[in-house]
Amino acid sequence: MKTEPIAVLGAGVMGVGITTLLAGHGLPVRLVDNDPVKLAQAPGRIRRELRMAQLMGVLPPGREEGEVSLHGDLSAVRGARVVIEAITENADLKTAVLADVSALVPPATPLVSNTSSIPIDELADAVRHPADLIGTHFMNPPALIGTTEVIRGVRTGEATLEAVRGLLREVGRRPVVVRDAPGFVTSRLLHPMINDAARVVQEGTASAEDVDALMQGCLGHPTGPLRTADLIGIDNLVDSLWVLLKRTGDEGCRPCDLLLQKVADGHHGRKTGQGFYEYEESTR
Amino acid sequence: MTVPTDQPMEVQAAILTFVEARTRTSWDPGADIFATGGLSSLFAMELVVHLEKTFGISIGGADMRLENFRTVDSMVGLVTRLGGNVSA
Ligand SMILES: NC(=O)c1ccc[n+]([C@@H]2O[C@H](COP(=O)([O-])OP(=O)(O)OC[C@H]3O[C@@H](n4cnc5c(N)ncnc54)[C@H](O)[C@@H]3O)[C@@H](O)[C@H]2O)c1
């Protein structure tokens, strides 16, 4: 069983990052995306992220990389040991894809959603065996972040939780298991904070550089909230804030005008070369 | 850009200019540019790609270690060791 590939759905920021983590630890991956452009870009991005992981000394030395194959069609999930869903943060898209996947794999295949904010139990309605569905919240870049939030839905089975713990152990991540809720722990805290940081810039109190410098230098935030927004992808951040607003009613989660403007302008952060900061082509 | 790597002083000046422009800080060639915090793995990767392009070298295997990029001098050492007068 151990040698069966892991299917990763979505070859965006996170799909590429999760594939890097898995392949860098020697596990074979089938990467699936319905956008041929994203699929075509994936090998170069994975190569770059693997190099960065190597540079930072976070991959097990001397281990052969797992093979990565690219697929345009969901049928590639057949025979996968685990399916990790990392498509766009949109509940309708995710439920449609998870429903299709659950019809293609046998029961007891762990279905893992990397959603930032959608409650796992809400997604569980779409699958044939809700006990097989669980959330993991890998963060960007997964190979460099040692801790992974794991979300146990009310219907998530013990066997699924154990399988995911086992997988995380194989790739050297430390799981922290939490209960299901909109945004779980990390997005519930981080996303409104980043929204506020953007609002501070919008109101002219300080520049993005100065907000980040203060959060890093005085409060110990590792990268600063606005550099983090760029790393996440501002389009994804806004999607996630809408998910949170709709499910919590917390007005602090309503995306501020500056974030909405950046999405409208196509300034989605590192992945498009511009967000709160500018990025060299070579390091996107 | 073509920078002959048999002239370490020019290599040093070229690297220093790039690092100072990207960090908006001036650096002593021996200073650890990652020690004071704030500089990320992304910046480290940017350095790798920049050195490869500017000096026409390819950095891989055991050379892909953060230690090689910590100071301007350690980068000069790496480039000098790997380089011919190659342009990219
Ligand atoms: N970006 C982050 O830092 C981050 C961190 C943690 C969790 N997440 C979550 O991970 C998920 C992915 O986020 P991302 O930032 O990688 O988004 P992204 O926009 O970079 O990538 C999403 C990818 O999904 C693909 N896709 C959409 N619908 C599809 C379908 N039906 N079948 C196959 N592929 C499809 C798109 O083509 C795109 O390539 C989201 O749920 C997001 O909230 C993101």
Task: Check residue A58 and give its pLDDT.
Answer: 94
Residue B81 pLDDT class (50, 70, 90 cuts): very high
Q: What is the pLDDT of residues A147-181, one digit of tens each?
A: 999 999 999 999 999 999 999 999 999 999 999 99
Structurally, how many domains does chain A consist of?
A: 2
For chain A, percent of residues with pLDDT exceeding 90: 94
Calpha distance A28→A24 (Å, rounded): 9
Give the residue from A129, A144, A179 where a domain finishes: A179
Judgement on whether residues A203 and A140 belong to the same structural domain of the protein:
no
Ligand 1: residue whose CA is nearest its atom 18: A12
Indicate if A144 and A266 belong to the same structural domain. no
Q: Do residues A148 and A202 both lie within one domain?
A: no
Asked if A147 and A76 sit in the same domain, the reply is yes
Residue B85 has pLDDT above 50, yes or no: no
Same domain, A73 and A197: no
Instruction: State how far the Cα of B57 lies from the Cα of B60, in Å rounded to an integer.
Output: 10
Check residue B3 and give its pLDDT. Answer: 61
Interface check A283 vs B, CB under 8 A: yes
Q: Where are the beta strands (DSSP E) in chain A?
A: 6-9, 29-32, 68-71, 82-85, 111-113, 133-137, 147-152, 174-179
Structural domain includes residue A1: no
CATH of the domain at A175: 3.40.50.720
Tell me if A225 sits within 8 A of A201, measured CB to CB. no
Residue A131 lies in a domain: yes
Weakest-pLDDT range from A58-72, A101-115, A267-281, B35-49: B35-49
Residue A120 carries which side chain, given as an amino acid letter?
I
Q: Is the pLDDT of residue A255 over 70?
A: yes
DSSP class of residue A131 equals: G
Residues of A marked as catalytic: 137
Report the pLDDT value the prediction gives residue B1, as an integer from 0 to 100: 53
Mean pLDDT of chain A: 96
- A89-97: average pLDDT: 98
User: Residue B76 and residue B73: Cα distance in Å, rounded?
Assistant: 5
CATH of the domain at B50: 1.10.1200.10
Listed residues A144, A179, A214: the one ending a domain: A179
Asked, for residue A281, whether it belongs to a domain, the answer is no
| The predicted structure's pLDDT at residue A1 | 40
Q: What is the pLDDT of residue B88?
A: 39
Q: How remote is the C-alpha of B88 from its chain's centroid?
A: 15
Across the interface, whether the CB atoms of A282 and B64 are under 8 A apart is answered no
Q: Where does a domain end: A137, A162, A179?
A: A179
Same domain, A113 and A24: yes
Q: A33 with A51, same domain? A: yes
Flag whether pLDDT at A69 surpasses 60: yes
Examine residue B51 and state whether it is found in any structural domain, yes or no: yes
Q: Is residue A284 part of a domain?
A: no
Residue B1 lies in a domain: no
Whether residue A85 contacts residue A94, with contact meaning beta carbons closer than 8 Å, is answered with: yes
| A90 and A155 part of one domain | yes
How many domains does chain B fold into?
Answer: 1
Assigned domain for B50 exists: yes
Question: Quick one: average pLDDT of A7-28?
Answer: 98
Mean pLDDT value of segment A75-95: 98
**What's the pLDDT score for residue B40?**
77
> Does a structural domain hold residue A272?
yes
Note the pTM of the prediction, 2 decimals. 0.93
Q: What was the pLDDT predicted at B84?
A: 47
Under a CB-based contact definition with an 8 Å cutoff, are residues B55 and B5 in contact? yes
> Are residues A126 and A159 located together in one domain of the fold?
yes
Tokens of A146: 């040692």
| Full residue range of the structural domain in which residue B75 is found | 8-83
Binding pocket residue ranges, ligand 1, CB within 6 Å: A 9-15, 32-35, 38, 86-89, 93, 97, 114-116, 137-140, 232-233, 236, 240
Judge whether B2 lies within some domain: no
A130 part of a folded domain: yes
> What's the rounded Cα separation, in Å, for the pair A1 and A14?
25
Nearest CA to ligand 1 atom 38: A12
Q: Is residue A95 domain-shared with residue A156, that is, in the same domain? A: yes
Query: Does A93 fall in a domain?
Result: yes
Residue numbers of the domain that contains A262: 186-276
Distance between CA atoms of residues B43 and A61, nearest Å: 23
B6, burial (CB in 10 Å: exposed 0-12, middle 13-18, buried 19+) = exposed
Q: Is the pLDDT of residue A267 over 70?
A: yes
CA distance A89 to A105: 23
pLDDT at B6 over 80: no
Average pLDDT over every residue of A69-97: 98
Q: Is B33 exposed, middle or buried (0-12, 13-18, 19+ CB in 10 A)?
A: buried
Residues A171 and A198 in one domain: no
Q: Is the pLDDT of residue A16 over 70?
A: yes
pLDDT confidence of residue A187: 98
Burial group, residue A37, by CB count within 10 angstroms (0-12, 13-18, 19+) = exposed
Whether A198 and A259 have beta carbons less than 8 Å apart is answered as yes
From A89, A113, A236, mutation site for ligand 1 pocket: most ligand atoms within 8 A of C-beta: A236
User: By three-state DSSP, how is residue A28 classified?
Assistant: coil
CATH number of the structural domain spanning residue A198: 1.10.1040.10
- The answer as to whether A245 is a domain residue is yes
Least confident of A96-110, A214-228, A236-250: A214-228
Based on the domain organization, do A169 and A204 belong to the same domain?
no
Residue B37 scores a pLDDT above 70: no
